[in-house]
């Protein structure tokens, strides 16, 4: 996963990319960029597609809440124009277009800017990946950026259209809270999916059905867990910039919702901690199973070796080339040797059974 380490192909980037004057998209999701505008109030909601060259600022209806949903950020020039239109700094644009998991929350005079990551699996048992998510909050608008075509905000759009909950009764700041919860829910769903898979793996390990792909999966889960935890922790550290609300874009009556989101992040971190402990326990169980299998193999080899030690001694004695050995001239010497070795082997076996070696 590791935006971005597990990717098979990555664009060549300059070690001084943050000094570049021209914004450049450094990710690997080169999907066509699109802009959808949803305008709503208590009575109705409208959705329309905007051309990439359209000015978002000029499209704002001050009597309604305006949600600009930007999908795809591969068009760096358009992303830069939109961000600069709302007076964001050039470094904010470059962080959004970068291939790193940058997390920041900045309160400007007229807007609040949030940059974070969302983690997901496109299908079951697929590789875990992450995308850049960004929000620009203004007086009566929210601009959301998402790097890939994922349904992370589809339920929010449906709730607005069907007038579910309080979304259409409240302002743009409440919409931002709902969108943040949607991103957090994507991360939580991924954690729950992994936990369900780990329950299945635990059953397999208890039944001692170890396999190579189990170990590989658990190692990937541990790496992914580390990345998600680091992202959520970074967001929580930056989150005070939003709660301080220096630009007063969050209404006093809605601060309680953003405090609730802080609690959600705390719970997510707790879940990630539990997942880490589960992974550690399962890895220990996996290695213990392997050690038990190895011990069983060594035990069997030891039993066989112990049974053959006295037989090897007898064969060694009768194989000495002394001139006078009565057994070599005896008519029944060969038969006697087999009977003697069988008795010795059986006696050794019975003795080890009585000692409860196996």
Q: What are phi and psi of 98, to 5 degrees?
A: -80, 175
Quick check: 329 pLDDT over 80? no
Distance CA 186, CA 119 (A): 7
Secondary structure class of 264 (helix, strand, coil): helix
Quick check: 122 pLDDT over 90? no
Average pLDDT over residues 110-119: 91
pLDDT of the residue at 175:
94
Distance CA 14, CA 278 (A): 39
CA 23 to chain centre: 29
Position with higher pLDDT, 50 vs 198: 50
Q: pLDDT-derived band of residue 7, with 50, 70 and 90 as boundaries?
A: very low
Q: Closest Cα partner for 269 from 188, 328, 356, 166?
A: 188
Structure-token match 């943040």, residue found = 180
Q: Closest Cα partner for 217 from 132, 131, 278?
A: 278
| CATH 3.30.460.20 domain residues, the chain | 17-289
Token pair listed for 119: 């983690």
Distance CA 116, CA 233 (A): 11
pLDDT of the residue at 13:
46
Q: pLDDT-derived band of residue 78, with 50, 70 and 90 as boundaries?
A: very high
Q: Closest Cα partner for 209 from 278, 293, 284, 277?
A: 293
8-state DSSP, 136: E
User: What pairs with residue 137 in β-bridges?
Assistant: 112, 142
pLDDT of the residue at 4:
46
Secondary structure class of 52 (helix, strand, coil): coil
pLDDT of the residue at 210:
63
The Cβ of residue 84 has, within 10 Å, a number of other Cβ atoms equal to 14
Quickly name the fold that domain 17-289 has: Beta Polymerase; domain 2 (3.30.460)
Q: Closest Cα partner for 105 from 262, 220, 211?
A: 262
Report pTM: 0.76
| CATH 1.20.58 domain residues, the chain | 301-354
Distance CA 346, CA 312 (A): 15
Average pLDDT of the chain to the nearest whole number: 83
CATH of domain 301-354: 1.20.58
pLDDT of the residue at 331:
76
């Amino acid at each position: 996963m590791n935006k971005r380490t597990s990717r098979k192909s990555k664009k060549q980037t300059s070690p001084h990319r943050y000094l570049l004057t021209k914004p450049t998209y450094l990710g690997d999701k080169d999907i066509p960029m699109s802009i959808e505008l949803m305008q709503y109030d208590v009575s109705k909601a409208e959705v329309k597609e905007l051309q990439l060259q359209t000015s978002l600022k000029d499209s704002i209806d001050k009597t309604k809440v305006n949600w600009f949903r930007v999908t795809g950020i591969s068009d760096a020039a358009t992303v830069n124009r939109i961000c600069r239109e709302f007076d964001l700094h050039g470094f904010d644009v470059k962080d959004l277009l970068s291939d790193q998991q940058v997390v920041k929350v900045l309160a400007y005079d007229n807007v609040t800017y949030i940059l974070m990551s969302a983690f997901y699996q496109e299908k079951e048992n697929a590789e875990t990946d992450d995308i850049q998510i960004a929000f620009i909050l203004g007086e009566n608008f929210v601009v959301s950026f998402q790097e890939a075509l994922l349904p992370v905000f589809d339920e929010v759009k449906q709730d607005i259209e069907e007038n579910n909950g309080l979304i259409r009764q409240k302002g743009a700041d409440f919409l931002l809270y709902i969108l943040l919860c949607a991103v957090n829910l994507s991360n939580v769903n991924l954690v729950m999916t992994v936990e369900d898979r780990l329950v299945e793996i635990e059953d397999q390990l208890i039944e001692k059905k170890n396999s190579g792909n189990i170990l590989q999966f658990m190692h990937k889960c541990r790496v992914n867990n580390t990345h998600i935890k680091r992202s959520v922790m970074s967001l929580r550290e930056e989150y005070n910039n939003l709660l301080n609300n220096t630009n007063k874009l969050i209404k006093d009556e809605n601060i309680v919702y953003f405090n609730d989101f802080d609690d959600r992040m705390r719970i997510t971190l707790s879940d990630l901690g539990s997942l880490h402990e589960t992974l550690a326990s399962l890895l220990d169980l996996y290695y213990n199973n392997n050690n038990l299998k190895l011990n069983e193999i060594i035990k069997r080899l030891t039993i066989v070796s112990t049974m053959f030690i006295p037989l090897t001694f007898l064969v060694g004695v009768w194989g000495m080339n002394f001139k006078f050995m009565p057994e070599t001239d005896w008519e029944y010497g060969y038969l006697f040797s087999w009977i003697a070795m069988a008795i010795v082997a059986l006696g050794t076996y019975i003795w080890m059974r009585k000692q409860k070696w196996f």
